[in-house]
Amino acid sequence: MRTWFITGGTPGGFGLVYAEAALKEGDQVVVTARRPSELREWAEPHGGRVLVLQLDVTDAEQVRAAVKTAEERFGGIDVLVNNAGRGWFGSVEGAPDETIRRTFDLNLFAVVEVIRAVLPGMRARGDGWIVNMSSVAGLVGAQGFGYYSAAKFALEGLSETLRQEVEPFGVRVLVVEPGAFRTKAFAGFQNEPVNETVDAYVPMVEGVKAAFVAHDGKQEGDPERGVQAVISAMNAPVPPQRIVLGNSGYDVVVAMHENALAELRANEELSRGADF
């Protein structure tokens, strides 16, 4: 029986889908959320196999306390799912400073804090999984969501280095890159104001917002099938380092890699000519 520690357990997101999948496998789960009262009814039927903790992942002290509580309750954390995260729209030039910092605090620095809190126990046991929820936007830039993309790009690089560093201790790292999935991720955009500080970008940002609002509830990705794909990847004889989820996301990422490779080869002479 494994113990999962899952951040971002707000109902309607990937977090609870991971939790339910883990419970079906016979495991036990720790689910964190800013508002744990929203999970009380969900958790009740599972009894002692579920621990719900209040957690703001951007608060380092809360992170360390939550991990300690989880380890004391279940004896250790076997699978960490860094699921908490979200984006705010805005141009690169005109997004408010507070939005930029909030985006990186939640999508990157908070992930670092959780990893640092969980890793000592995993290293001591010589086993563990770290599943970092990135995004297709962590591989392909998203207009109007430049800072979310930047934070996810950073998470990709961090995960790649982390994988190399913790592999000798028996800890594996998987990066998950979903496209558009039918969670509640888009639901809050309807009532979110456009706080763009550069007027020239307002039409673009408003168009991005309108596209997300129009797409809410129509996303092709099925969160349950997505999580099952992740678990299958973890259980594979040779687990992948990353997995893209969803048809549209897969197509976008394949096109990006093919275009990047073609451009790299087209400029091979320039690249190779830079050495002494």
For 198-239, how does the pLDDT look when each residue is reduced to its tens digit (9 = 90+)? 999 999 999 999 988 887 767 788 899 999 999 999 999 999
Buried b (16+ CB within 10 A) or exposed e, 164-198: eebeeeebbbbbbbbbbbbbebbeebeeeeeebee
Whether residue 256 has pLDDT greater than 80: yes
Can you tell me the distance from the alpha carbon of 138 to that of 140, in angstroms, rounded to the nearest whole number? Answer: 6
Q: Given pLDDT bands bounded at 50, 70 and 90, which one contains residue 187?
A: low
Q: What is the mean pLDDT of residues 17-33?
A: 96
CATH number for domain 3-246, candidates 3.20.20.140, 3.40.50.300, 3.40.50.720, 3.40.50.11060: 3.40.50.720
DSSP for 77-88 reads -SEEEE------
| pLDDT at residue 182, as a whole number | 75
Burial of 39 (0-12, 13-18, 19+ CB in 10 A): buried
Question: For residues 214 and 51, what is the distance between their CA atoms, to the nearest angstrom?
Answer: 36
Query: What order do you get walking across the sheet with 50-54 strand by strand?
Result: 50-54, 28-33, 3-6, 79-82, 128-133, 171-178, 242-245
Q: Which pTM value belongs to this model?
A: 0.94
**Residues acting as catalytic residues:** 134, 148, 152
Does 14 score more than 90 pLDDT?
yes
